[in-house]
Chains A and B, each alone.
Chain A
Amino acid sequence: SQQGEEDPQALSIQEGENATMNCSYKTSINNLQWYRQNSGRGLVHLILIRSNEREKHSGRLRVTLDTSKKSSSLLITASRAADTASYFCATDAGGGTYKYIFGTGTRLKVLA
């Protein structure tokens, strides 16, 4: 079963706009990761945020984590056509395991 659920399932925006996608999960975690997948490059790691962190930045990416609400958000600022891809959150399954559970993904389309 999927632990993470991304919202929205699909998002279409104009180039230059910001894109926000959310991830909710069910159990306590140690870390949450965001990945991007497009047909050209496969799955690529974007950012990792640990459970004791609330916000991280990487270039045009900003990730927040709210462990009390069991949710995370990924913000992509000043989007580009090249950002068109599916975005997945992945969480560890907790309990000391290094197993990861991926969400169902948000399909982002950036229109030029």
Chain B
Amino acid sequence: DTGVSQDPRHKITKRGQNVTFRCDPISEHNRLYWYRQTLGQGPEFLTYFQNEAQLEKSRLLSDRFSAERPKGSFSTLEIQRTEQGDSAMYLCASSPLAGGFYNEQFFGPGTRLTVL
């Protein structure tokens, strides 16, 4: 197993454009998380899935952000009408279900978004 992968690793876009990021979790992991991280800060929770169900979404997340996890496998995060404030590292993590207990998260390398 190669761990959590994210694509692309870097994305530069112009303000107002839409962008989509992909995350492939570790295959047997049921939970998948999206975070956003800016320089000097800790990861900020965006949303998480258990299998294909999106169970929680940050109230800080505007309607321009949407995430999907069809069939409970890979996930996509789309940002519509990007703004310069969206520039950040977008991190994906997956975690096993393991009897419903809390377990460690395995993070991908992230997608660095720059909005010009």
Number of residues on chain A facing chain B (CB within 8 A): 24
Alpha-carbon separation in the docked complex, A102 to B108 (Å) = 16
Option from A43, A101, A103 in Cβ contact (under 8 Å) with B107: A43
Which A positions have Cβ atoms within 8 angstroms of B? 2, 4, 30-31, 33, 35, 42-45, 48, 50, 88, 90, 92, 97-105
Please tell me if the beta carbons of B42 and A104 are within 8 angstroms of each other in the complex.
Answer: yes
Please tell me if the beta carbons of B42 and A42 are within 8 angstroms of each other in the complex.
Answer: no
Please tell me if the beta carbons of B102 and A92 are within 8 angstroms of each other in the complex.
Answer: yes
Determine chain A's interface SS by DSSP, over half rule.
Answer: strand
Q: Which partner residue on chain A sits nearest B107 by CB separation?
A: A43
Cβ contacts A to B, 10 pairs, < 8 Å: A31-B102, A33-B104, A48-B103, A92-B102, A98-B95, A99-B45, A99-B56, A100-B105, A102-B35, A104-B42
Let me know if B41 is at the binding interface, CB within 8 A: yes
Which B positions have Cβ atoms within 8 angstroms of A? 31, 33, 35, 40-45, 48, 50, 55-56, 91, 93, 95, 102-110
Query: Which residues of the partner chain A approach B91 to less than 8 Å between Cβ atoms?
Result: 42-43
Q: Which partner residue on chain B sits nearest A47 by CB separation?
A: B104
Please tell me if the beta carbons of B105 and A103 are within 8 angstroms of each other in the complex.
Answer: no
Alpha-carbon separation in the docked complex, A105 to B55 (Å) = 27
Q: What is the distance, in angstroms, from A25's C-beta to the closest C-beta of chain B?
A: 12
Alpha-carbon separation in the docked complex, A81 to B33 (Å) = 31
